Amino acid sequence: MMDRYTKLQMAGIYFAITIFLIFILLPFFEMFMTSLRPLEHLFRSPYQFWSDDFSFDAYSQMWVTVPLLGRYILNSIFIATSVTAITMVFVVPAAYAYARLDFPFKSASLAIFLGVNMFTGAVLLIPLYRVLRTLGLLNTYWAMIVPGVAFLIPTGIWLLRSYLEKIPRELEEAAYVDGASRMYTLRRVVLPLAVPGLIVVGVAVFIGAYAQQFLFAITFNQQRELQPLPAGLYEFIGYQSVTWNEMMAAALVGVLPVMVIFLFLQKYLVAGLTAGAVKE
Amino acid sequence: MTDLTDAARAIEGSRRKVLPEAWFAWLLVAPAMLFIAVIVAWPLAETIRLSFMEADLGGEHYVGLANYQDLLESRKFHDTIIRTFYWMFLSVSLKLILGLIGAVLLNAAVPGRGLFRVLVMPPWVIPIAIGCIGWLWLYNGYFGILSGTAQAIGLTDGPFEFLAYKNSAFYSAIVTDVWVGTPMVTLFFLAAMQGVSRDLYEAAWVDGAGRWYRFRRITIPQIMPVIVSMALLSAIWTFNSFEIIWILTEGGPRSATTTLIVDTYKTAIGNFKFGEGAARAVVIVALLATFSLFYLFFLNKVNKHYGVK
């Protein structure tokens, strides 16, 4: 009853959603159309929306132009997955401490974590380069993983803490009465209950790690075989010509695996955020 | 329950050794703290040190406040700061407005909304650099569909290069930044809206309140805490938004899209003036810290106003 719309209102909503989605999806449409155009067509003037020589050739040719393309796609996923796993190892205990325990400098130290949000890699690039060199991590996967973890820990703690606060305390107290140690309680009682929250935070961290690989990759890593997809795509800007159509095809194919994974997880993501990850 | 626990603790405490709460808490927090100390605090300290140096590939020597003085006297740097704040306010406002509209639309009880929710997310999920390549092509005067459409319907005579002129480049970069940021804002607002109790809406509905009234008097106040915290996070990220500008324009044409972060990168990495770059980085951190403090102060007032503790 309350949610009933008139026909006109329905039409208005669909119209507005369509406009919104056109804005969101336009670049993908453009990338797809570009990937279909033969290279010489790209530079044809005046502009043509469609012609008969559109083809999927770029999708097979791109693997030849940039032989390491498959490797780049896997690198991207590998780096983002490692960042997520390591970040969670740091985030889970810390978030639990902030959600449940009382200790000196609690709010001060939490403020420090949140303050890290004010930096991005770009601000600290030069000294970060030196630190990574000192630690001997330049030109390894670690050079792209370690900074990613550092900048995602604060967001992770912030998200997971509010989720953990929603879990009833009684279960932990019961475990305690039964003689369980603190660590055992955390591992065997709290963590299983927090699985939906862990998925949400994990997905959010993964997205952050996956989205922001470009800068660290081009700055801290010179080894071609280790580059993630966004950096690897620049190889299509070649010695003689830029094969734009193949670059677009590679970009679309490259993000496909993660998009598919995301399709399966998005249900949890929206549900999990609703369950309280953002509500203070 | 609590009494019982206390009693249990008292008994337990005499029998087994229990780690004090504070110790245990710091044990849990320490690894994350240490990691941040090495990867963020150390470089930050190094940046502050470097900002007092004249440093380049050849070496470094102490110059005191000279780097900061140069910045203070530089007309160009003032322009950059103003441009950065303008960039931030415009982009964040658009993200919040579009995010709110988007969340309302995706929250509407219409068939197909599950699909719409999925379709909104790609800009957030894919690497920023890849989305920007798509926009780079869209803005291209000869090959892009925007210029192509403009020509086809007679808006422009010839190709229009969006990124070639100062104004159009700036606003094009804003559009792309909004595109990257809006899905996440939308999703968080949507989640917050779904957390609002239905009873409130039903009570208002029974009393004859219309949709707009319910939106203004129930939805907005209820999700206000999420709106303000998203606004702060979004402001900080937008202020520091680097890849989008770098890929689209590298700060050009004629500095039209050079924000503080781009200026810092160009100075330090592009021209190897590490000291001057570090001074700029310190200015960024100082400005953001000041902005955040003011904001949090304001946030406190908003929360009080809306009765959130």
| Residue B67 pLDDT level (bands cut at 50, 70, 90) | confident
Return contacts of B263-267, CB within 8 angstroms, 24+ apart: B263/B77, B263/B80, B264/A122, B264/A123, B265/A122, B265/A125
Q: Which residue has the higher pLDDT, A133 or B160?
A: A133
How large a percentage of chain B has pLDDT more than 90?
22
Q: Which of A263, A252, A202, A190 is nearest to A32 (CA)?
A: A252
Q: Do residues B115 and A16 lie in contact, with contact meaning Cβ atoms separated by under 8 Å?
A: no
Instruction: Please compute the mean of the pLDDT values over residues B70-92 and round it to a whole number.
Output: 92
Nearest-Cα residue of chain A relative to residue B205: A2
Task: Write out chain B residues lying below 8 Å of A27, CB-based.
Answer: 123, 131, 134-135, 137-138, 179
First to last CA, chain A: 31
| Residue A198 pLDDT level (bands cut at 50, 70, 90) | confident
Would the pLDDT of A24 be above 70? yes
Using CA atoms, how far apart are residues B182 and B121, in angstroms rounded to an integer? 9
| Residue B91 pLDDT level (bands cut at 50, 70, 90) | very high
- Would you call B225 and A280 a contact, using CB atoms and an 8 Å cutoff? yes
pLDDT digit string, tens, across residues B9-37? 555 555 555 678 888 889 999 999 999 99
At residue B87, the pLDDT reads: 94
- Would you call B46 and A127 a contact, using CB atoms and an 8 Å cutoff? yes
pLDDT digit string, tens, across residues A32-50? 988 888 877 766 666 777 7
At residue A277, the pLDDT reads: 41
Q: What is the mean pLDDT of chain B?
A: 85
- Would you call A153 and B32 a contact, using CB atoms and an 8 Å cutoff? yes
| Residue B178 pLDDT level (bands cut at 50, 70, 90) | very high
Strand partners, B54: B61
pLDDT digit string, tens, across residues A97-130? 998 888 888 888 888 888 887 777 777 888 888 8
Q: What is the mean pLDDT of chain A?
A: 83
Instruction: Please compute the mean of the pLDDT values over residues B199-205 and round it to a whole number.
Output: 85
Using CA atoms, how far apart are residues A254 and A233, in angstroms rounded to an integer? 9
- Would you call A149 and B101 a contact, using CB atoms and an 8 Å cutoff? no
| Residue B81 pLDDT level (bands cut at 50, 70, 90) | very high
Give me the CATH code for the B65-305 domain, please.
1.10.3720.10
Q: Which residue has the higher pLDDT, A213 or B101?
A: B101
Q: How many helices (H) and strands (E) does chain A have?
A: 14, 0
Q: Which of A60-69, A131-140, A244-253, B240-249 has the lowest mean pLDDT?
A: A60-69
pLDDT digit string, tens, across residues A211-263? 888 888 888 888 888 999 888 888 777 666 778 888 889 889 988 888 888 88
pLDDT digit string, tens, across residues B225-284? 788 888 888 898 898 888 899 989 888 788 888 999 999 988 888 888 888 889 999 999
Q: Which residues contact B122 (CB under 8 A, 6 or more apart)?
A: A24, A25, A28, A259, B183
- Would you call A30 and B145 a contact, using CB atoms and an 8 Å cutoff? yes
Using CA atoms, how far apart are residues A57 and A50, in angstroms rounded to an integer? 16
At residue B206, the pLDDT reads: 85
At residue B307, the pLDDT reads: 58
Global pTM reads 0.86
- Would you call A42 and B38 a contact, using CB atoms and an 8 Å cutoff? no
At residue A177, the pLDDT reads: 80
At residue A279, the pLDDT reads: 39
At residue A84, the pLDDT reads: 95
- Would you call A126 and B277 a contact, using CB atoms and an 8 Å cutoff? yes
- Would you call B105 and A13 a contact, using CB atoms and an 8 Å cutoff? yes
Give which of A24, A172, A200, A267 to mutate to test B binding, by max B Cβ within 10 Å: A24
Question: How much is the ipTM here?
Answer: 0.84
| Residue A278 pLDDT level (bands cut at 50, 70, 90) | very low
Nearest-Cα residue of chain B relative to residue A186: B28
DSSP class of residue B141?
A: T
Q: How far is A125 from chain B (nearest CA, A)?
A: 8
For residue B119, give both structure tokens: 């379709």
Give which of A126, A186, A255 to mutate to test B binding, by max B Cβ within 10 Å: A126
- Would you call B24 and A101 a contact, using CB atoms and an 8 Å cutoff? yes
Would the pLDDT of B8 be above 70? no
- Would you call B36 and A16 a contact, using CB atoms and an 8 Å cutoff? no
Q: Do residues B142 and B203 lie in contact, with contact meaning Cβ atoms separated by under 8 Å?
A: no
| Residue B1 pLDDT level (bands cut at 50, 70, 90) | very low
Instruction: Please compute the mean of the pLDDT values over residues B102-121 and round it to a whole number.
Output: 87
Nearest CB to B4; choose among A49, A177, A210: A177
The size of the A-B interface in CB pairs under 8 A is: 296
**Class in CATH terms, A66-277:** mainly alpha
At residue A280, the pLDDT reads: 36
Q: How far is A183 from chain B (nearest CA, A)?
A: 9
Give which of B28, B97, B100, B211 to mutate to test A binding, by max A Cβ within 10 Å: B28
Burial degree of A193 (CB within 10 A; 0-12, 13-18, 19+): middle
Using CA atoms, how far apart are residues B98 and A188, in angstroms rounded to an integer? 43
Task: Write out chain A residues lying below 8 Å of B205, CB-based.
Answer: 1-2
The SS3 assignment for B217 reads: helix
| Residue A2 pLDDT level (bands cut at 50, 70, 90) | low
Please, where in chain B does CATH 1.10.3720.10 lie?
Answer: 65-305
Q: Which residue has the higher pLDDT, A240 or B177?
A: B177
Dihedral angle over CA of B32, B34, B36, B39, nearest 10: -130
- Would you call A124 and B289 a contact, using CB atoms and an 8 Å cutoff? no
CA A32 to chain centre: 22
